[in-house]
Amino acid sequence: MPSAFPTQFDVLVIGAGHAGCEAALAAARMGARVLLTTIQLDTVAQMSCNPAIGGVAKGHLVREIDAMGGAMAEAIDATGIQFRELNTSKGPAVRSPRAQADKKAYQLWMKNRVEETPGITLRQDIVDEIVVEGGRAKGAIAKSGWLYRADAVVVTTGTFMKGLIHIGEQRQTGGRASEPTAENISDSLRALGFRVERFKTGTPPRLNGRTMDVAKLKLQHGDEAPRPFSFLRDRIEVEQVPCWITYTNERTHEILRANLHRAPLLTGQIEAVGPRYCPSIETKIQRFAGKERHQLFLEPEGRHTREVYVNGVSTSFPPDVQELMIRSIAGLENAEIMRYGYAVEYDYVPPTQIWPTLETKKVEGLYFAGQINGTSGYEEAAMQGLLAGANAAGKLAGKPPLVLSRDEAYGGVLVDDIVTQGVREPYRVFTSRAEHRLFLRADNADRRLTPKARAHGLVPDARWKRFEAKEAEIANATALLPGRFLEGHSALQWIRRPEMSWSALENSFPEVRALGIGAQAAEQVELEAKFAGYIARQQAAIDRFRRMESRRIPARFDYATVHQLRAEARERLEEVQPLTLGQAARVGGVRPADIALLVLALSRPRKEKAGQRE
């Protein structure tokens, strides 16, 4: 075995992308000594694909990460170049923030946060092998020759495990363009007994914005009053950069259809499954053959570059086809491609092999987060990283597990979905995946999660004091409204009117204006008053959900003792090893009749069940 590195660490995090950075920061906030390794220091927290954070449901995740002390929201607030609130014409449950980022500024901001955080050692090295002793992860061996010793290991390798890039018939190893791969980690995981499979993702070409004819493009501005992602900020004051919209056309589709025989995704060159909800342009023109055009968003990659991301044409077509495709589009007739789009295949570990804490079932102290779990997206990765880092450090410190329930966070929906259902394609979060959307709003993420994260040691004093002050404002306003009247109606009744805003209420009720509560607190009081009836009904549904979640299933429960349980249900339950009846009911292939049998089995006296096993 190689020589041990001079320092013994508590937590080793392998990979410094969005998951790895949040994992390292979370573990360090809890007092752990952390080593964060990366293949390339210059690409810490790199935005491999679109230069943006947030979006529908994804913005909810960012707010939840922030509520638990994570860094992603602060990073985009500091480096965003255009901010937009999505779905403002719809209900509050689906409104979500999104921002274009200055890609390089975001990456440098996050790298600096990691570098300046006490307890984190950042190191450029490629890990080859996970070290396991006595069934526990104890570190890793790297190409440098060092054995890095740690009592917990978090793997956040993104698309770098045996990454293979495709541009037409050209194939080259790489987890990202011009970067090497982590070739040996997945072999190490297979040797430990993990099932490893392949997924595919892709990225579009980038253009020189100077060569676009913006007169032919539809301008898209940010919000006049941009809203911060982080609960630590009250406002965003920054000059915003415009984006543009254009469309493919029949000529574009003719070019692509004529060259489908050269698309690696369709020739069999790429065998892995790609993301259904973010398909390549070659998939779009086949799946939606009757559609005359597809919308494209032209998104600047920063303030100090003219590079533009073409959102909507992810592709692995050969370079000459990409040139023809781009120049067939209105406004891009003379556009110069600076980087060609490509597809990348990579190894992932099907996530039914991990617990809801993100610790693996086969190796104690080994955690997976991000794309290694079959997910896609910066936001999904960052949330998993935070939870994995917190649980790795928390377990070493003797703390209870940090597990988010489906009724309290989109992070809970995300983790429960992947560990219970598994993944058949790269997973992304949607508001439609959540049963309790009105509770899981982007605006109240701190109220849902900051107290829980504080109890776990993830929220520092300054953030907690700000949260307490906001809660006091909400309590004061909530207590005042029912007792102030105008024209025979209380202030509470007035604010419940659809057309009434908080600012209008303040103009009508001097006592309310005298409270001087902040915008965040006012929003909470107004929304909870307006939607009180809906919230009460959803609370009843949550109470029913929690009753099912409270019925625990013993660890390593023997499903063979459940008579008449179907073979498929037994197989799936043994694979997932659900912790509660609620989770068991969500396992794919398990029917209500199977749950009824399981309820009966769990209700039998322990002595009777023990006798059956004998």
**Residue 430, token pair as written in the block:** 């949607």
State the fold for domain 206-345: Elongation Factor Tu (Ef-tu); domain 3 (2.40.30)
pLDDT of residue 608: 43
User: Which H or E run contains 116?
Assistant: helix 103-116
CATH of the domain spanning 551-613, picked from 1.10.150.570, 1.10.150.130, 3.40.47.10, 3.30.230.70: 1.10.150.570
CATH 2.40.30.260 range(s) for the chain read 206-345
Q: What is the pLDDT of residues 553-590, one digit of tens each?
A: 998 899 999 989 999 999 999 999 999 999 999 999 99
How far apart (Å, rounded) are the C-alpha atoms in residues 229 and 231? 7
Q: What is the pLDDT of residues 41-78, one digit of tens each?
A: 999 999 999 999 999 999 999 999 999 999 999 999 99
Q: What string of H, E and C letters represents the secondary structure of 558-609?
A: CHHHCCCCCHHHHHHHHHHCCCEHHHHHCCCCCCHHHHHHHHHHHHCCHHHH
State the fold for domain 461-535: Arc Repressor Mutant, subunit A (1.10.10)
How far apart (Å, rounded) are the C-alpha atoms in residues 244 and 370? 31
> How much is the average pLDDT of 94-123?
98
**Residue 569, token pair as written in the block:** 């249900």
DSSP secondary structure letter of residue 469? H
**Residue 301, token pair as written in the block:** 């990659």
Q: Which residue has the tokens 């892995």?
A: 272
pLDDT of residue 462: 96
pLDDT of residue 561: 92
For the entire predicted model, the pTM comes to 0.95
CATH 1.10.150.570 range(s) for the chain read 551-613
Closest of 313, 334, 329 to residue 263, by C-alpha = 313
Average pLDDT along the chain: 95
| 610 pLDDT higher than 80 | no
> How much is the average pLDDT of 223-240?
96
| 614 pLDDT higher than 90 | no
- In percent, the amount of the chain with pLDDT more than 70 equals 98
How far apart (Å, rounded) are the C-alpha atoms in residues 451 and 447? 7
CATH 1.10.10.1800 range(s) for the chain read 461-535
Cα 127 from chain centroid? Answer: 24
